[in-house]
Amino acid sequence: MVAPKIEDCLKAIYCLQDGDTPASSSEIAAAIGVKPPTVTTMLQRMDDDDLVHYESYTGACLTDRGEKHALNVLRNHRLLELFLTEELGYEWSAVHEEADVLEHHLSETLVERIEAVLKSPTVDPHGEPIPTADLEIPRCETQQPLAECQEGTIVVLSEVRANSSDVLSYLTKAGISLGTELKVVETAPFGMITCEVNTADKPLSLPADVAAEIYVSRPAESSKKDRRKYNEAK
């Protein structure tokens, strides 16, 4: 059995590593809330257990065994987030920390029952893909970050990768949820992206680094996807 803190570390590495580019110890430490020396010790032990490939001053990448564990934790996490919003009335800005605690303590039977209650969902409340029972994770190749859209482009919000409750709460107050249509009206040289929102009277302005974590699709593409629409204003 893998300890919860190790599972947190595996999940962080999965989200941080970029292809063959490893996740650095400092990035992992920030993601799981521990000091870098503690992460170094953890990574050394995880390397011995064939969960990661770790090199000092370079970072860590998951092994096949480590990736399997990471995807299993990610599956639990995202199903829990959806269960909390759909069945218990949580807002999408309040589920991440709850799921972080609960994800380590689910039996396989409970996960299967949660998935059945939710009718085999493919995405969590933030639009992020939920790994299947076979630990396969679907990808949408046609999505792109809002920060990369040209002025005049009309798009639909399809995924928010920022876990910040402040960002999610701000989007909610602006009348924005999955499926909301946006029109990019200005990309300022100093880093602000401004959009018109079809569900609100006021435009939405976001720093470029936040807009980089918000993924959008063209309206025609979004309508073809089997995605749930969440309305945080209900």
Could you tell me the CATH number of the domain that includes residue 210? 2.30.30.90
Residue 234 lies in a domain: no
Range of the domain at 51: 4-62
**Residue (of 77, 79, 67) closest to 120 by Cα position:** 79
- What's the domain count of the chain? 2
Please identify, among 62, 89, 104, the residue that sits at the C-terminal boundary of a domain.
Answer: 62
Supply the pLDDT for residue 226.
Answer: 41
Supply the pLDDT for residue 230.
Answer: 37
The DSSP result for 143-178, as a single string, is -EEGGGPPTT-EEEEEEE----HHHHHHHHHTT--T
Residue 14 lies in a domain: yes
β pairing state of 144-145 and 181-187: unpaired
Supply the pLDDT for residue 229.
Answer: 41
Residue 29 lies in a domain: yes
Residue 69 lies in a domain: no
DSSP state at residue 22: P
Supply the pLDDT for residue 220.
Answer: 67
Supply the pLDDT for residue 221.
Answer: 55
Supply the pLDDT for residue 223.
Answer: 47
Residue 18 lies in a domain: yes
Residue 85 lies in a domain: no
Q: What is the pLDDT along the chain (234 residues), one digit of tens a residue?
A: 789 999 999 999 999 998 889 999 999 999 999 999 999 999 999 999 999 999 998 999 999 999 999 999 999 999 999 999 999 999 999 999 999 999 999 999 999 999 999 999 999 999 999 999 999 988 777 899 999 999 999 999 999 998 889 999 999 998 899 999 999 999 987 789 999 998 888 899 999 999 999 999 988 655 444 444 433 333
Supply the pLDDT for residue 144.
Answer: 94
CATH number where 43 lies: 1.10.10.10
Supply the pLDDT for residue 232.
Answer: 38
Supply the pLDDT for residue 4.
Answer: 95
Residue 220 lies in a domain: yes
Residue 191 lies in a domain: yes
- Angle, vertex CA 133, rays to CA 5 and CA 124, nearest 5: 70
Q: Measure the CA–CA gap between 211 and 184, rounded to whole angstroms.
A: 11
Structure tokens at 149: 């859209």
Please identify, among 17, 45, 62, the residue that sits at the C-terminal boundary of a domain.
Answer: 62
